Structure 1
Amino acid sequence: MSHPLFLLPKPFGQLSHPLEVIRQFTPNWFAATMGTGVLSAALTQLPFPVPGLWSLAEALWCFDVVLFLIFGFLYAARWVMFFDEARRIFGHSTVSMFFGTVPMGLATLINGLLIFGLPRWGSAVMPLAEMLWWVDVVMALACGILIPFLMFTRQEHSIDQMTAVWLLPVVAAEVAAASGGLLAPHLTDAHRQFNVLVTGYVLWGLSVPVAFSILTILVLRMALHKLPHANMAASSWLALGPISTGAFGLLVLGADSPAIFAANGLPGIGDVAAGLGLIAGIVLWGVGVWWLLLAVLITLRYLRNGIPFNLGWWAFTFPLGVFALTTLRLGSVLHLEFFAVLGSVLVIGLATLWLVIMKRTLVGAYKGELFVSPCIARSRG
C-alpha cells in the first residue's frame, strides 16, 4: 500500500518549471499579509478574555512577518531575473494597482511590532518601528501618486472595466496614517511625536478625499454597467477599506492629539482634533455600514453562480478587519455595548474567512495554479 505522502501531487505541478514561481510572481500576494496582519491585530482588541488568544494573535503576526519576507524575496528575485517581463506591470491596468498592497502589508507588520514587540522586547523595538514607518510612508506616497500618473499617461482604462481595485494604490497612504497614529504615543521625543502626527494627518488628506472621488465614480459605473465579472467578485469589499481606514485613522490620530499638540506649544488644538476625529469616525462608520451591507448583498448575488477562487479573495479580509477594528474602537471610546458586540461578531467572521481563504491559498500555491502574471500570461508555457 502506498504511503499517503506519495499520493500528494507534485509541488508546482501546474507550472512548466519551478522558476515560474518567480517569473509569475505579482504584488497580489501581499494582500495575504494584509489580511493576516489585520486579523492578528483584531484578535487582540476583543472586549472579552479568551485563554490563549494573545499567543495565537502573536503567532499570526510572526507568520505574517514570514509571509512578507518570502513575498518580498520572490518579487525582488523576479525583478533581478526577469526584468523585462517584470516591468510590464507598469502598463497593466489591473495588476499595477496591487503595488499598494506592499506598503499596506508592511503597515500591519509595524502595527504588530507595537502590539507584540513592545511587551516582549521593550522600547528597543521603537527605532525599528519608527524607521519602518517612514519607509512605509515613502512607499505609500509613491504608490498613491505614481500609479495614478501611469493611469493618466500609459495605461488603457474604461468606465465599464473599472473596479474597486483603483482604490488600492490610493488607500496605502491612509493605512500609513493610521499606523502613524498608533506609533506616535510610543515615541519618547515630543518633537518626533509631533512630526509623525502631523504627517499622519497629511497622509489622511492625501488619501481619503481621493478615495471618495473614486468611490463616486464606482457607484456610477455599477449603476450604468452593473456588476463586474465573477473573477472580480471580492473587489466589491474593497470599497469598505478606505471608509473604515479613514474612520480608524481619525480615531487613533485624535486619541493622543491633546497631549502631543500641548507638548509642542499648541494647547487646545489637540482637543479639537480628538473631538473632530470621534465625530468624523462615527459618521464614516455609518457610511461603512452602507457599503458593508451592499457588499454582502452583491456577494450573495455572485454566490448563486459560484465565485472562482483567486488571490482576489483576500479582498474580503482587510476591509472587513479594519471595519471590525473601527467598530471595537468606537465601542471602547463611546462605552456602547452595541459596538463591542458587533465588532466581536465581525472579528469571528473575519477569522472564519481567513481560515477558508488561507487554506485555499496554500493549496493553490502548492499546486502552482495561483502563480499567474496577467502581464505575461500569453507567454506562459
Structure 2
Amino acid sequence: MSYQAGPTSVDDLVNYKKAILRDDRRDTRIRGSIEATLEFFKSKQSDAPPLPAGRPAYPTDSSGLNNTMSYPQISRPTMAPQYNDYNDMEKRPSNFNDFKSEKMDIEAKPAVHHDDHHGISAGPHTLKERLKHFTFSWYAFTMATGGTALTLSVVPNRFSGLTSLGTFMFLLNIFFFICVTSAMITRFIIYPEIFISCFTNFHEGVFSATFWLTCATMITNTVAYGVPKSGPWLIEALRIAFWIYTVCATLHAIIYYQIIFVNQQLKITNVLPGWVLPMFPAMLVGTLAGAIAKTQPPQHAYPMLIAGLSYQGFGFFMALFMYPLYFGRLLTSGIPAYLSRPAMFIAVGPPAFTALALINMAQDVQVTKIFDGYTKLQGVANQALIPDLFSIMALVMAIFLWVLAFWFFVMAFIAMIDGLPHNDFHLNWYAKVFPNVGFTIATIKIGERIDSPAVQLVGTAMAAVLFFSWCLVFFCHIKAFLGHMICWPGRDEDAH
C-alpha cells in the first residue's frame, strides 16, 4: 500500500461518497459530515507522534480509482464497519494512530433510511428458501389490487367494458389473496420459529394491517360487483362480514400497538406515515359502513352507521396525532431516503378516506330513511331535515379534508419523482396506489354532490392514472421477483 496526500477538495469526497458509497443525503449534509470528520481527525493527528520520514498523513490504495484522485481511508469502504445506518461515523470510541478518543457526536443523525438490509445472499436459493422471506408486505399487493377494482366501479364517465374490467380485477384479487395467504401459511408451517418475530419485527409486522385492508377491499367490492347480481342472502352475509371485520380490526389496532409499545424503541426523527398503518383497518370500518349500510334495512343500517362514524373518527384522530411528528421530521431531518419515500403517500389516506366515508354515510342516511319512521333524534323538531343536514355537513367536511389530502399527495409525488433514478422496487411501492384510491373516489363523490361535470372529469382522469399506475407497479413487482430483488435473503422487511 502506498501513501500520498488526500484530496485537495472536499467536493471530491462528496462526489465519491455519492457515487461509490451511495450516500443519498443532500450535498450539504454530506459536506458537513466530511468537514466535521476531517476536522476531528486533524485535531487527533496534531496530538499524535510524528510519522516516519517520507510517510504522508493519509494511507491510500489507488487500485480501482483514477490515478489523479485518491482518498483518505475514512472515505473508502473497508471490511470493518466504519459507517453506521446513516453512512456516517457512529457515536463511539474511534482509533487514530493507536490513540483512543472519547465518545463524540460528530453531527446530528438524520432519519433512519430503512435501507439497512444486511446479509444479502448471492444465491442460488430454492423456492422453499425464498419462501422464508415471503413477508406480510405482500398483502400490500392485494390491497392495492382490490382498491383499484373499487375505483373502477365508481368512475362517472364510463365506457362499455369498464364494469367487466372491474369485475375481472375483483375476481383476480380474490385469487391473488388466496395465493398470498396460502404462501404465508406454508411459510409459517415450514419455519414456525419465525412466526413471533414476524410481528415483533416492526418493519414486517406493521404490514400485517394490509391483510385486514385487503379483506376490507374485498367486502366493499362485493357490494359493488356482487349485490346487483345476487340474492338477499348476500345482503345478510355482508352484514355478518361487517361486524366480524369490525371486531378483528379493533383487536388488531389494540394488540399490535401494544406490541409496538412494549417491544420497540422507535425514534421520533424517523417517523413515517406508515406508523399509523396498524389503525388503518379500524378506520376503514367507516368506509365499509358507507358502502354496506345502503343495502341494509333501517334496523341494521342504523348501528352500522353509528359504528362507522365512531371508527372513522378514531382513525382520523389517530392520524392527527401522528401528523405533527411527521411534519416536524420533514422540517428537521428532511424528506425520507429514496427507499422510504413511497410511504409518504400513506399520509393521503386518512383525510381522503374520511371524506369518502362521510359522504357515503350521509347518503346512506337518506337512502335507508332511518329517521323516517324507524328512529328519531331527541330535541330535533323536524326529523325530516336530519338527512339533509347530515348531507350538507358531510359535503363541507369532505371538501375541507380534500385539500389536506391533496397537499400530502403533492409532497409525496415530488419526493417520489426526485427519487425515481435511485429507488429499486420494494413492495411499499403499492403505497403509491392504495391511499390514492380514497383520494380518487372522494374527488368523484364530491363532484357528484356539487353536480360538477368538471370535477367528475378530473376524478375520471385520476382513476385512469391510478389504474395505469397499478399496472406499472405490478409489472415492476413481477420483474423484481424474477430478478431476486424481493423474496430473497437480505432484501425484504425481515432483514432489518
TM-score, scaled to structure 1:
0.90
Q: CA deviation at 1:90?
A: 2.5
Q: Are residue 120 (structure 1) and residue 236 (structure 2) matched?
A: no
Q: How many angstroms apart in 2 are the aligned matches of 1:50 and 1:108? A: 23
**Shift of residue 14 of structure 1?**
5.8
Offset at 1:89? 2.2
Q: Which residue, 294, 316, 322 being the options, matches 2:432?
A: 316
Q: Does 1:211 align with 2:328?
A: no
1:262, 1:270 within 8 Å by CA — same for their partners in 2? no
Two-structure CA RMSD over aligned residues (Å): 2.0
Change (3 A) 1:15 1:346: farther
Tell me the secondary structure at the aligned position of residue 433 of structure 2: helix
State the alpha-carbon separation in 2 of the partners of residues 273 and 150 from structure 1: 38
How many Å separate the matches in 2 of 1:102 and 1:341? Answer: 32
1:132 Cα offset (Å): 2.3
Are the counterparts in 2 of residues 15 and 368 from structure 1 also a CA contact under 8 Å? no
Contact 1:194 1:261 in 2 (8 A): no
Can you list the C-alpha shifts for 1:206-229, whole angstroms capped at 9, x where unaligned?
Answer: 211011111221111111111222
415, 418, 423: which one aligns with 1:307: 423
Structure 1: which amino acid aligns with 2:411? L
Match for residue 375 of structure 2? 265
In the alignment, what sits opposite 1:245?
A: 353
Residue 101 of structure 1 aligns with which residue?
Answer: 210
What whole-Å deviation, never above 9, does each CA across 1:190-209 have from its counterpart, x for those lacking one?
22111211111111122110
- Of all paired residues, the percent bearing the same amino acid is 21
Asked if 1:198 is matched to 2:198, the reply is no
Q: CA deviation at 1:375?
A: 6.2
**Which whole-Å CA distance do the structure 2 matches of 1:61 and 1:321 have between them?**
14
Structure 1 residues 44 and 87 mapped into 2: Cα distance closer, same or farther (>3 Å)?
same
Q: Aligned residues, how many?
A: 364
Q: Say which is worse superposed, 179-188 or 80-89, in terms of deviation.
A: 80-89
For the residue of structure 1 that corresponds to 2:231, the secondary structure is: helix
Query: What is aligned with 2:447?
Result: 331
- Structure 1 residue identity aligned to 2:495: A
Residues 85 and 127 of structure 1: CA distance in aligned 2, closer, same or farther (over 3 Å):
same
Kindly state the Cα deviation for residue 336 of structure 1 after the two structures are TM-superposed: 1.3
Cα deviation for residue 108 of structure 1 reads 0.9
Q: Which amino acid aligns with 2:288?
A: S
| Displacement after TM superposition at 1:177 (Å) | 1.4
Given that 1:233 and 1:307 are in contact with CA atoms closer than 8 Å, whether structure 2 keeps it comes out as: no
TM-fit CA distance, 1:183? 0.3
Deviation of the 1:165 alpha carbon: 1.0
Residue 408 of structure 2, aligned match among 291, 295, 312: 291
Any idea what SS the aligned residue of 1:19 has? helix
Indicate the SS of the match to 1:256.
helix
Identify if the C-alpha distance between structure 1 residues 20 and 134 changes in structure 2 by more than 3 Å, giving closer, same or farther: farther
What runs of 5+ residues in structure 1 fail to find an aligned partner? 1-12
Aligned to 2:328: 220
From the superposition, tell whether residues 27 and 263 of structure 1 become closer, same or farther in structure 2 (CA, over 3 Å). farther
Specify which of 198, 203, 210 is matched with residue 89 of structure 1: 198
CA drift of 1:281 comes to: 0.8
Do the aligned partners of 2:352 and 2:402 also contact (CA within 8 Å) in 1?
yes
The correspondence for 1:143, drawn from 242, 246, 252, is 252
Deviations 1:326-372 (A, max 9, x none): 00011111101232121111111111111111112123334554215
Match of 1:236 among 335, 344, 361: 344
> Which protein has the bigger helix share?
1
Question: Which structure has the greater CA radius of gyration?
Answer: 2
| CA offset digits 1:87-146 (Å, max 9, x no partner) | 102222222211111111111111111111112223332233222222321232123222
Partner of 1:4: none
Q: Which has the higher contact order (CA 8 A, sep 6+)?
A: 1
The separation in 1 between residues aligned to 2:445 and 2:130, in whole angstroms, is 40
Residues 88 and 359 (structure 1), Cα distance of their counterparts in 2 relative to 1, 3 Å cut: same
Measured after TM superposition, the shift of residue 325 of structure 1 is 0.4
Where 2:422 maps in the other structure, the secondary structure is: coil
Please tell me whether the aligned partners of residues 137 and 176 of structure 1 are also in contact (alpha carbons under 8 angstroms): yes
> Are the counterparts in 1 of residues 425 and 480 from structure 2 also a CA contact under 8 Å?
no
Q: Distance in 1 between matches of 2:372 and 2:396?
A: 21
